[in-house]
Every structure is written in C-alpha cells, then in structure tokens.
Amino acid sequence: MLHLLLASLLFLMELNCENLFDCRHDEGKNDTEFLPEGSHKWTPARYWHKQNQIARAILAAPELPALVALCEVENDSVMYDLTRRSMLRNLDYRFFITSSADERGIDVALIYQPYKFRPLNYNVFRTDMSKLGNPTRDILYVSGRVESGDTLHVLVVHAPSKAGKGKEGYMMRERVCRRVIDVTDSIRSCSPHAHIVVMGDFNENAGEASLRFLQQQQLHAVTAQAEGRNGARGTYRFRGKWEHIDHILVSTSLLPKVRQTFIVDAPFMLEPDEKYGGVRPARMYMGPRYNRNGMSDHLPLVLTLDYM
C-alpha cells in the first residue's frame, strides 16, 4: 500500500550545494581558492567526497526525487560527475545547467529522471544587473511532461546574497524576482492555468520584500514552514537562528496538488551548534578549515505533488 501511495506522488527537491567546484581553473572565473594549490587545498579526494555527500543527501529523501534543483554548482563537468560517476551513477539522472556571468563561476542546474519527467523546452534567462552590482546567476527554465500527462514548467533561481550588500543587495534580489515574473507571465500568456514550480535559494525569508512580491504574483511559497525530523527548523542557520531562504513556490493551479513539504535533515547532514545550542547544517568548510563530515551549509528542501 505504501509503495502505491509513493508511486502516486511526484517528489521535487531543492538544494544549495555550497561550492560544488571541480579542481580545475575556469578561465576568467574567480575560483582559485578551490584548486589543489588554493587556500582550501581542494584536492580530487575532497572533490569526490563532496560529490558523494551531495549524492547521499539526494538519496536520503524517502523517495528518489524526480527533479532536483541545485544551486552553487560550477559547470557541466561537475554535473556530469554527479549524475554519471557519483553514488547516483546507476539512477539515470540527466541534467540541464546554466553558464552565467557570475564572477565565481557558480551556476544553477536541474537534474531529472527521464521516465518521470520528459523535457519539452529549455531556456536560460539573464538578469540585467547594470548600475547595481556584479553579474548574478542566470535563471534556468525547463518544461516537461510528467507521468500523468501534465506539463510542468520549472524555474531554478539563485538570487544574490545579503552579505555586505545592504540596500543594493535587496534591489538585486528584487530585480531577479521581477525577471522570474517576466518568465512566468510569458508562460501564462500561452497557458493561463499552467503548472509552474520555482525552486532555489532566494536569500530571503518568505516574509521579506522580494518573496512577498513573488507571492503577490500568484506564486505561493508552500515550503515556508517546512521542518525536518532531526531538529532542523529551516534550511539554513545563521547565528543560531533557523532561516527559510531556500524556497519552492507553486502556481495557484498546483496548490490543490501539494501533498507535503519537509526538510531532509538526516543526521550525517547535521552537527552540534556549540555556540548557540541545538544543531546546524554541517558545512564542508568553516573559513579555511576543512570538515570531512560536512556536506553543505544548506539542507535539502522537498515538495511532494499528488499526480494521481
């Protein structure tokens, strides 16, 4: 009975991988700290351990996700290694990835299982950051047919961070969100009741300005209250406070199909927060200090949709 129930659901995951870099320099990108001779001493052994930690995080979901939106991945070779050479190698995941103008060379990607999601269209949308700041990550758009026959439109987003940016950072995040609305409005102009999912790291909680703007445009932040089973009360923890800065938003047409949202916080993804108490995501680096037991400073976020 449980197997039949799981088979009726579509599992979607979002995860910020926190610096999933390879060990080679990409010309024109500021990735030197993630080289063997760099400050992080990023060796092939550490790289492959990171790959398998990300794979373990995906496999820790109660059901294998049909779609996984990934933030902070460096390039297509990293994605090839994740889907074809890591612990995921026998699961037939395929991927799409952007190639943005981000100075560090980090991008967003979508991995998918082709027997659960058959791609129909793919595009990349750039956000104009002139007069505001450095270029940011592009928005990835993929549409596809799911097993029920419905078409699902998926956007993957990684908005600029708050770190040291103040008002300028807010304006940059707002501009990214307005670009998201441009894309979703275009989809709806062709299909008014389109099923749309927007996933990613927005660097804002649901009550903050940019996320409020998205929700005013009929995109619902259904994961804003998601929690884990092992102490996680958000996907990210800053100075002892859990935050929901990773989101999965759905169009109004998908709200009746939302079954459940939760955070995957398996014990291997967590560590004690010695300063503030409780637990926090176990990141792979604290400054230059390497933590072999780490995975990312974010936790995976899951949405299940009922497609019976």
**Tens digits of residue pLDDT in 33-88:** 999 999 999 999 999 999 999 999 999 999 999 999 999 999 999 999 999 999 99
Distance between CA 38 and CA 31 in Å, rounded?
A: 9
Where residue 162 falls among pLDDT bands split at 50, 70, 90?
A: confident
pLDDT of residue 164: 56
Instruction: Describe the crossing of helices 166-190 and 209-216 by its angle, rounded to 10 degrees.
Output: 10
Q: Give me the percent of the chain exceeding a pLDDT of 90.
A: 89
Secondary structure (H, E, C), the chain: CHHHHHHCEEEEEEEEEEEECCCCCCCCCCCHHHCCCCCCCCCHHHHHHHHHHHHHHHHCCCCCCCEEEEEEECCHHHHHHHHHCCCCCCCCCEEEECCCCCCCCCEEEEEECCCCEEEEEEEEECCCCCCCCCCCCCEEEEEEEECCCCEEEEEEEECCCCCCCHHHHHHHHHHHHHHHHHHHHHHHHHCCCCEEEEEEECCCCCCCHHHHHHHHCCEEECCCCCCCCCCCCCCEEECCEEECCEEEEEEHHHHHHEEEEEECCCHHHEEECCCCCCEEECCCEECCEECCCCCCCECCEEEEEECC
Residue 105, pLDDT > 90, answer: yes
pLDDT of residue 165: 63
pLDDT of residue 1: 41
Residue 2, pLDDT > 60, answer: no
Q: Which of 158-167, 179-188, 218-227, 242-251 has the lowest mean pLDDT?
A: 158-167
Residue 5, pLDDT > 60, answer: no
Mean pLDDT of 153-160: 97
pLDDT of residue 132: 84
Distance between CA 301 and CA 30 in Å, rounded?
A: 29
User: Tens digit of pLDDT for each residue in 255-294?
Assistant: 999 999 999 999 999 999 999 999 999 999 998 899 999 9
Return the number of other C-beta atoms located less than 10 Å from residue 293's C-beta: 12
The owner of tokens 């939106």 is 69
pLDDT of residue 204: 95
Where residue 134 falls among pLDDT bands split at 50, 70, 90?
A: confident
Distance between CA 96 and CA 103 in Å, rounded?
A: 20
Average pLDDT, the chain: 94
User: Tens digit of pLDDT for each residue in 164-174?
Assistant: 567 888 899 99
pLDDT of residue 247: 98
